[in-house]
Structure 1
Amino acid sequence: MANIEALFEHLWQDYTQRLCPSAIKVHKLLSQKGEKLSNDHIALRTFSGGKLGLVQLAKHFQALGYEQAGEYHFEAKKLYAHHYQHPDPRYPKVFISELCLPKCSENLNHIIDSLIHDLPQQYTDSSQFLYQGRPWRITKEQYQMLAEESEYAAWVAAHGFGANHFTVSVNELAGFMDLKQVNDFLVWHNFDMNNSGGDVKGSEEVGLQQSSTLADKISVECSDGEIVIPGGFYEFAKRFPLGNGVLYQGFVTASADKIFESTNI
């Protein structure tokens, strides 16, 4: 299924060139003798609504055989999410979240409406939009106003579309027993880790442990100048077997809520 590999390669290139250049260094540090790291999942962000909602992003993965496997609510952040899996376990999971605009302020909705107003309804027809960045113009003032209410809204408005993060599967990572070893190794190499909710989020009891670097600081061109803001980050996940002996494949809302904060301003 070459189309899946091609899509993820495009997403990886965009992620490492535009959103998280440090991922290349992390990838090299964790690779043993040049072995390819196993990607547990990627995450994508968007706004709710008919034009750009998570359904519009998901359809391109579903066309390649992915199926919805989980549903998540993040009430405080006003986010809703699905995760998708492919019947072939070699392919990464896909976690797609959206900001629930009806739950946000009138001012935030006015700004988002102004950004996406001229975006054609057909914009999401091609999967290329998933890794082509921001299709609208934004001012520094608009970014700051969004950030005051929702870091997530400001991130999507500034960066557009692309993988917010890739995730190393620690289960298949040579030379490391657990997430603490990975975290300590990266800190020793001068990477800052997200300690919101603890350096390691989750536990063996809930089936999943996660950690992540803090987002790279990225220069973004606005219509009235440049701003330096958080871009993408690199995540690490270790999955544990459930009672039936099969590795847990879902996500833990309490942990994912803290992972979102890797891009906090």
Structure 2
Amino acid sequence: MSNAAFFDALWADHVAIAPQSAAIHALFAADNPVVINDHVAFRTFDTGPLSLARLETRLFDLGYRRHAPYSFPDKHLSAWGYVPADPDDPLVFLSELHVGALSSAAQALVTPIIDAIDPALASTPDVFLAGRVWPAISYGDYRMLAQESEYAGWLAALGLHANHFTVAVHRLHTPTTLEAVVQQVRTAGFAVNNAGGAIKGTPAELLEQAATLADRQPVSFAGGETHVVPTCYYEFARRYPDIDGRLYQGFVAASANRIFESTDRGHRT
């Protein structure tokens, strides 16, 4: 699979559970000859066949290399950023949940999920759009997990998807500021993640970010139940050049920590 085909497949999978992303992309595509994807992000567990160490080998296969690590102790997460061999490909942000840091009750819910994963699943890049590759958990268990870790609840219910794509604002013809992008998104009727402010990061940090709140779509749970839960979202990033004139390729941990909250259940009921 070529990198272009891989990201096309990721996008198709993403918008199937987050149709707002397709609508917002069209909003900017109407005024720009091309809308560049700055980065995509994935979530996983830190143990088992789908740990970050297993999944990143598939990124290496696509020509990516590690760039910088990130830590989010308050959410029991860590992550790496990855840069592509081809500068026209998006950056990748891969995070993992520290299962051992969860309560014993939460671990008891997560362990059967990990045990049910096929060890051979991570043999191709298709794993990143595999979705939920374990039996559906009950809605009650989902709520219990999410009460302790929104990330854990989301991952248990949805599995592997690109949880967000990102408009590269610095490569738009119009609008050219993140403030204008956020206003356009709001005017179109989409809710924005205001955790820590609508715009996270500063030009001095070489990266400004904003994001919508996650779409909400029906998801199947055990026992034949279906409930509407947060799925995925769309992000907007404006990167700035460093003192050597090179566009910043990393992420800002404090900003990313609040961007994670785009999938929290408490934003809307």
Query: Under TM normalisation by the shorter chain, which class is it?
Result: over 0.9
Partner of 1:231: 231
- SS where residue 194 of structure 2 aligns? coil
Counterpart selection for 1:31 from 25, 29, 32: 29
SS of the aligned residue for 1:80 comes to strand
Secondary structure of the residue aligned to 1:76 is helix
- Distance in 1 (CA, whole Å) between partners of 2:261 and 2:120 is 32
Aligned to 1:247: 247
Q: Which whole-Å CA distance do the structure 2 matches of 1:246 and 1:135 have between them?
A: 40
- Which residue in 2 is equivalent to 1:61? 59
**Alignment match, 2:173:** 174
> SS of the residue aligned with 2:120?
helix
Mean Cα deviation higher: 159-168 or 108-117: 108-117
Matches within 5 A, 1:14-25: 14-18=13-17, 20-25=18-23
Q: Distance in 2 between matches of 1:120 and 1:237?
A: 35
User: How much has 1:129 moved relative to structure 2?
Assistant: 2.0
Contact between 1:143 and 1:157, CA under 8 Å: does it hold in 2? Answer: yes
Question: Match for 1:111 among 109, 112, 122?
Answer: 109
DSSP 3-state at the match of 2:234: strand
Q: Is the 8 A contact 1:22 1:216 kept in 2?
A: yes
Instruction: Structure 2 unaligned segments of length 5 or more: list them.
Output: none
Distance in 2 (CA, whole Å) between partners of 1:45 and 1:55 is 12
- TM-score, normalised via structure 2 length: 0.95
Does 2:8 match 1:4? no
Q: Residue 214 of structure 2 corresponds to which residue in structure 1?
A: 215
Map residues 37-56 of structure 1 onto 2, 5 A cutoff. Answer: 37-56=35-54
1:37-75 Cα distance to aligned partner (Å, 9 max, x none): 100000000011131111222111101210000100001
- 1:34 shift after superposition: 6.6
Query: Which one is further off, 178-187 or 135-144?
Result: 135-144
Instruction: Name the counterpart of 1:143.
Output: 142
> How does the TM-score come out when normalised to structure 1?
0.96
Cα deviation, 1:224-256, whole Å, max 9, x if unaligned, reads: 201111000000000011111211110000000
Match in the other structure for 2:72? 74
Q: Report what 1:94 is aligned to.
A: 92
Aligned length: 263
Query: What corresponds to 2:83 in structure 1?
Result: 85
Q: Tell me by how many angstroms 1:120 deviates.
A: 2.2
Q: Indicate the residue corresponding to 1:156 in structure 2.
A: 155
The residue that corresponds to 2:263 in the other structure is 263
On the 8 A contact 2:132/2:158 being kept in 1, the answer is yes
Using the TM superposition, give the Cα deviation of residue 33 of structure 1 relative to its aligned residue in structure 2, in angstroms: 5.3
2:31 touches 2:174 (CA, 8 Å); kept in 1? no
Match of 1:189 in 2: 188
Q: Could you report, residue by residue, the CA deviation over 1:118-159 in whole angstroms, capped at 9, with x for unpaired residues? A: 322112112222112101121111101101100000000000
Q: Distance in 1 between matches of 2:97 and 2:31?
A: 41
RMSD, aligned CA: 1.2
SS of the residue aligned with 2:201?
strand
Counterpart of 1:6 in 2: which secondary structure? helix
User: Does structure 1 retain, via aligned residues, the 8 Å contact 2:32–2:172?
Assistant: no
**Does the 8 A contact of 2:48 with 2:115 survive in 1?**
no
